[in-house]
Amino acid sequence: MRGAWWAAILGLLLGAVLGVGLLLYRGAPPGGGRSEGTAADSVGDKGAAVADTLADAGDGRDAALRASRENAIVRATQLVAPAVVSINVIQQQAVRDPTREFFEKYFAIPHRDSYEYVRSLGSGVIVSSDGLVVTNEHVVQGAVQLLVTLSDGRQFQGVVVEEVDRYDLAVLRIEAQDLPVARLADSDDLQIGEWAIAIGSPFGYLLADTQPTVTVGVISALNRDIARQNQHDRRLV
């Protein structure tokens, strides 16, 4: 009888222990006591941090690349390009007529010049905000009409103010105000080997895009002068 009582008590205790253990097992989250949502949030936070780091690194590389592209030639072009213009010229040129020359020479027919009108194109640069433009003298030589096209597409009639054949330079004027200007510097400050940038827009009148073209070279020499022939001959003797 006593053994039966002990067996009953032992069974009750064992059942209680098993019941409490089962309740604890069902209530405890997997993964050593961490909740599933907390673990997912942690992984998500780490992924976002890695993505932000990669994005910052990419932005840094892009900024460095952009900075490396912004060299002196690019900056000079950006400064000068708005002041570069296209010049469309109608020129009056003398026409040589062999037949007329024959009759003038052998039959004393009075000489009369014959002319024709031709179109040509060139470039110039604005040097004052009130409309002074510098170009080559050969561009406007014999011009009877000048049409100046700005980098923004605006067009103005031009008038020749000055021509200097010796230096192949000419100055035009257009009736406009507040124009972009190319700042002139001292040519005596040039050094051999420095970059030289040729910026022009000879076809701006014909193209939908009036932005100028750019060509790059270097200053190859300074103050070159051709010696007179007799000096050259003496050096060879």
What's the pLDDT tens digit per position in 131-189?
999 999 999 988 889 999 998 889 999 999 999 988 899 999 999 999 999 988 888 89
The answer to whether the Cα torsion of 30, 33, 34, 37 is positive or negative is: positive
Q: Give backbone dihedrals phi and psi of 71, rounded to 5 degrees, phi first.
A: -85, 180
Q: Which two tokens mark 219?
A: 């200053």
Do the domain assignments include residue 137? Answer: yes
Do the domain assignments include residue 114? Answer: yes
| Domain enclosing residue 206, as ranges | 78-218
Could you give the number of structural domains in the chain? Answer: 1
CATH (domain of 123): 2.40.10.120
What's the pLDDT at 23?
46
- DSSP state at residue 208: S
What's the pLDDT at 20?
44
Do the domain assignments include residue 29? Answer: no
pLDDT, tens digit, 9 for 90 and up, residues 18-67 = 454 544 445 545 554 444 555 555 655 666 665 666 566 666 677 777 77
Average pLDDT over residues 2-14: 52
Q: Give which of 213, 74, 73, 203 is closest to 149, Cα–Cα.
A: 203
What is d(CA 163, CA 132) in angstroms, rounded to the nearest whole number?
13
Sequence-distant (≥ 6) Cβ neighbours of residue 45 within 8 angstroms: none
Mind giving me the DSSP string for 44-56?
HHHHHHHHHHHHH
Do the domain assignments include residue 23? Answer: no
Do the domain assignments include residue 69? Answer: no
Do the domain assignments include residue 36? Answer: no
How much is the mean pLDDT over the chain?
75
Do the domain assignments include residue 162? Answer: yes
Confidence label for 71 from pLDDT (cuts 50, 70 and 90): confident
Do the domain assignments include residue 157? Answer: yes
